[in-house]
Amino acid sequence: MFLENVNLNKFFLIIILLIYPSIYADDLIVADEFKAGEVISADTFNQIFDTIEKINRTIKDEDLIGTWNCSSINTGSDSADSSGWTKKGFTYFLESQLNFTPSGQVDGTKYIEVPSIDSPYNFATSSPNPFSRAGSNTSASGTYILYKGMIVMSPVENSYLNQVWSFPIDFVSNDRFILRQGSNNNLISNIVVCDSANPIPATPSNPVATISNGTINLTWTDNSVDEDGFRIYRKKDNEDNYLLLDTVTIDSYIDTSALDGETYNYYVTSFNENGESLKSKIIVMVQDASPPEILAVDPANGSPRTRRDDLNDFQAITISFSESSTFYSPDRKNFWPVTLYVNDVEISPDDAWIPQALAKGFFHDSFLFGLLYNGTGNYKIIVQKDGILDQNGNFMAEDFVINYTVTEN
C-alpha cells in the first residue's frame, strides 16, 4: 500500500477509535510513525490488527496470570474505613498490588491448567486491597472466575462476610486492564486500573539503515528503560520468513554479512525476561558494496601532449566515474586525492594544480582538474583509492594511474 501526505498513525487511530470506542488513545500504540511515500508491509498490518484483536476480544485466563500494579478510585461513604487511601475532594485513591495465579491440577506427574470457570483461580492483594473499603480495610485473597467479560471474585476474609465482588473487565492495551464496578455497592471501588508489574519492554522506533564502506548500518530509538537487549531480524526480498540475525545491547548494529546487490528487510525488537516487544517498522535496504571506478579520462591515458605556449594557461583533465562520487578529504582541506609525478619526482600540489575546494559531500559523475604545471617529461598522475568515495561510503578498490608524455612544441 502506498499513501502520500498522510500521518498513518493518526489515520489508523481514528478508524480504530470509531470502531472500538472502549479503547483509550493513550493506551494504544499500534506502530512506529509512518511517513509520506513509505510502503506498509503485510507484517506491519498484521501486527497492528493482532494488537487490536487482543484488546477487544473477551479476556482469557492466561491474560491475567502474574502481578499487577493497580490504581483505584472509590467514592464510598466517609464513614467507611479509609486507612491507606488518599482522599481528594469527594474521592478516595489507592495504589496497590494484585497477583493472579492459576489453580491447576495434577494428572499423574503432569501439571495441567484448567479454565477458571471449572476450577477457580487464586488472587491476592496488598493491604489495603484495591476493591472495597467495607469492613476492616486489609489485604484480600481468595478465588475468582472469568465469565464472558466479567471477573467474579470471592474473598475468604471474614471481614468481608464472604461477599462476592463482580467487575466487568477489559484490556485497553497489551499491559493494562480496567475493572469497573458491576454493582450498586457504594463501598466497592468505582474503577480499578491495573498495569503489568513485569511488562515487556517498549517497541523500538525510528529504525534507520545506511550503507558505509560495504556494510549496512542500523540504528533505532530505544523507548524502554527495562530491556535486556535488542534482536535484529532480517530476510531477503525473495524470502518468506525473517530470521534472527543477531542480539545486541546497544541501539545500533552493523550488518557485515549483507551481499552486494541483494535487497534486505529488517526489523528490531526489544526483550527482557518477561518477553519480547512488538516489531519495529520494517526498513528495506539494497546493499551496495561495489567500489566506484574511474571509467575514462580525457585526454585519454597514454596520449602524447605538447607543452603549452601560455604558461598562465592550464591543462584540463576530466575524470569520469562509474557512479556518482566525491573526493574524500579527512580534514576537508589538506588532502589532495591526486598526486603528480614528473620524471618520477613528486610535484607539490601548490605547483601542480589549480586550487580547488575538495570538500566531501558534492557528488558528481565526473570531475575536472586544472593541471597548472607546464614542464616537459614523463607525467604520472595517481588518483588515490582512499580519496574517492561513492554515496554509500565505498572507496575505490585501488589507485588509478594516468601516464603520458609532454614534449616541446
Q: What is the pLDDT of residues 193-231, one digit of tens each?
A: 999 998 889 889 899 998 877 789 999 999 988 899 999
The Cα 272–Cα 254 span in angstroms is: 22
CATH code, domain with 216 = 2.60.40.10
CA dihedral sign, ordered 315, 319, 325, 330: negative
pLDDT in tens, the chain (409 residues): 444 334 455 445 444 444 444 444 444 555 566 666 665 666 667 777 777 766 667 888 888 999 999 999 988 777 777 788 999 888 899 999 999 998 876 666 666 678 999 989 999 999 999 988 876 678 889 999 999 889 999 888 655 545 788 899 988 877 899 999 866 667 788 999 999 998 889 889 899 998 877 789 999 999 988 899 999 999 998 898 999 999 999 999 999 999 888 899 999 999 999 889 888 888 999 888 788 899 988 888 888 888 876 656 677 888 899 888 887 776 555 567 888 899 999 988 888 887 654 445 578 888 888 888 888 889 999 988 888 888 887 888 899 999 988 888 7
332/393 same-domain check:
yes
Helices first, then strands: H and E counts in the chain: 4, 28
374/396 same-domain check:
yes
66/192 same-domain check:
yes
pLDDT value, residue 369: 80
The whole domain housing 272 covers 201-289
* Domains held by the chain: number: 4
Task: Find the angle CA(182)-CA(191)-CA(54) to the nearest 5 degrees.
Answer: 85
274/314 same-domain check:
no
Helical segments of 269-360, H only: 349-352
The Cα 75–Cα 133 span in angstroms is: 10
212/185 same-domain check:
no
CATH code, domain with 300 = 2.60.40.1220
186/67 same-domain check:
yes
81/94 same-domain check:
yes
**Residue matched to cell numbers 550488518:** 255
CA dihedral sign, ordered 321, 322, 324, 326: negative
398/354 same-domain check:
yes
Please identify, among 264, 289, 314, the residue that sits at the C-terminal boundary of a domain. 289
The answer to whether the predicted template modeling score (pTM) of the entire model surpasses 0.75 is no
Contact 358, 327 (CB under 8 A): yes
Please identify, among 38, 54, 70, the residue that sits at the C-terminal boundary of a domain. 54
Contact 133, 141 (CB under 8 A): no
309/242 same-domain check:
no
Task: Find the angle CA(287)-CA(288)-CA(294) to the nearest 5 degrees.
Answer: 175
Contact 32, 65 (CB under 8 A): no
Count of CB atoms within 10 A of residue 406's CB?
19
pLDDT value, residue 300: 84
93/135 same-domain check:
yes
Please identify, among 149, 176, 196, the residue that sits at the C-terminal boundary of a domain. 196
Output b/e per residue, 68-86; b: 16+ Cβ within 10 A. bbbebbbebeeebbbebbe
CATH code, domain with 122 = 2.40.128
87/189 same-domain check:
yes
94/165 same-domain check:
yes
